[in-house]
Amino acid sequence: MSEPIAPLPDIEAPRPLSFQAPQGDLALIAGSANPVLARKIATLLGVELTPAEARLFSEGNVFVRILENIRGRDVFVIQGVHYPVNDNFMELLFWIDALKRASAQQVTAVIPFFSYAKGDKKDEPRVSIRARVCADAIEAAGADRVLTMDLHSPQIQGFFRIPVDHLYGRLVLADHIASLNIDDLVVCSPDIGFAKEASDFADLLGVPVAIGNKQRLGHSETVRVLEVIGDVQGKNVVLVDDFAITARSLIEMAEVLNRRGARDIYAAVTHGVLSPGANERIQKSLIKKMFITDSIENHLEPFCDKIEVVSVAPLFARAIRSIHDRTSVSMLFTHSAAARSASKSRTD
């Protein structure tokens, strides 16, 4: 097992000089979808959340209001699009509109989880490309840029005509797994579609990668694992994915890995959606521990004992600081390359 990967730059480190002045005073708005994550980010940045309120009226209407002057300020509204998806999405649009009408200088929509990212293509007759519709709506509401994490398809960034900064939850998840010092570790993707991301995850840890091949039956959550490419015999394995809804893919893959001679099996997922029944399935499964981030706060049932939450607040705080200071956020994307280089140097 290689040494733990190098940590991301400290949020408290001296701030680099920018070639441009910041976009007015920094302001953070906490939407109703992610109040806890927003407070963590504010604490790391050393600022107070801007007073604001969101209400859901009895007939279902959403109402938002900013409670102090934000004219000329650089505003980041933190509002994920998870359950209740449509209420949260409409609230996000209303926040953007309210901020633009209140003369904010720049509005960044911080979307920890963008649920409609799953609707990224027209793969059946007469269906909507939902992610594109949502992107158009966010732009029409007046957002100047978007900050999000682990879109189901990174190409969705191209649906926007405004800047999109796309973060990767694997940075904090890999840091956490490295701290556990698990020996003989292999990273495994549950399907070919996530193979590149799994390879990047493995590079962060300096360990081998295995790839599963699964078949999904229609729109159901039923899956069938067809093959595993890679050696897992006698190895500890961490299954990685961008999100888990029913967790059936991960659970079935864990069973296949067990039959292939794997030892302890873990899972690391950025967005733990976890629909009703998922926690019970995970608790009864062969997965020893499942790590998820705090990108989603409104869960439909309590977590089982096997689930452990890792915060992405430091990742978002660094990105917000860089965007506000108009400095590069490349360190949030090149961390993998830096870790790979450090791992190679230790090996050499």
Q: How far apart are CA 261 and CA 61, in angstroms?
A: 54
DSSP per-residue codes, 292-326: EESS----SSPPPTTEEEE--HHHHHHHHHHHHHT
Say which of 40, 100, 196, 214 is annotated catalytic.
214
194/305: higher pLDDT: 305
pTM of the predicted structure, to 2 decimals: 0.88
DSSP state of 246: S
Q: How far apart are CA 4 and CA 91, in angstroms?
A: 40
Judging by DSSP bridges, how do beta strands 265-272 and 236-244 pair with one another?
Answer: parallel
DSSP state of 1: -
Point out which residues pair with 243 in neighbouring strands: 271
Q: How far apart are CA 66 and CA 229, in angstroms?
A: 53
CB neighbours of 98 closer than 8 A, spacing ≥ 6? Answer: 64, 65, 66
Kindly report the backbone phi and psi dihedral angles of residue 139, in degrees, each rounded to the nearest multiple of 5, phi listed first.
Answer: -65, -45
Is it true that 26-167+313-325 and 170-293 share their CATH fold? yes
122 in catalytic set:
no
* Residue 101 CB neighbours (<10 A): 10
Domain spans in the chain, listed from the N-terminal domain onward: 26-167+313-325, 170-293
pLDDT in tens, 39-57: 999 999 999 999 999 999 9
Using a 10 angstrom Cβ sphere, with 0-12 exposed, 13-18 middle and 19 or more buried, the burial of residue 289 is middle
pLDDT at 38 over 60: yes
* Residue 332 CB neighbours (<10 A): 19
Convert 215-227 to b/e letters by CB count within 10 Å (16 or more is b): eeeeeeeebebee
Classify the C-alpha dihedral 287-293-296-299 as positive or negative: positive
Architecture of domain 26-167+313-325: 3-Layer(aba) Sandwich (3.40)
Convert 305-317 to b/e letters by CB count within 10 Å (16 or more is b): ebbeebbbbbbbb
Q: Please give the mean pLDDT across all residues of the chain.
A: 88
CATH topology of domain 170-293: Rossmann fold (3.40.50)
pLDDT at 189 over 60: yes
- pLDDT for residue 170: 94
- pLDDT for residue 325: 92
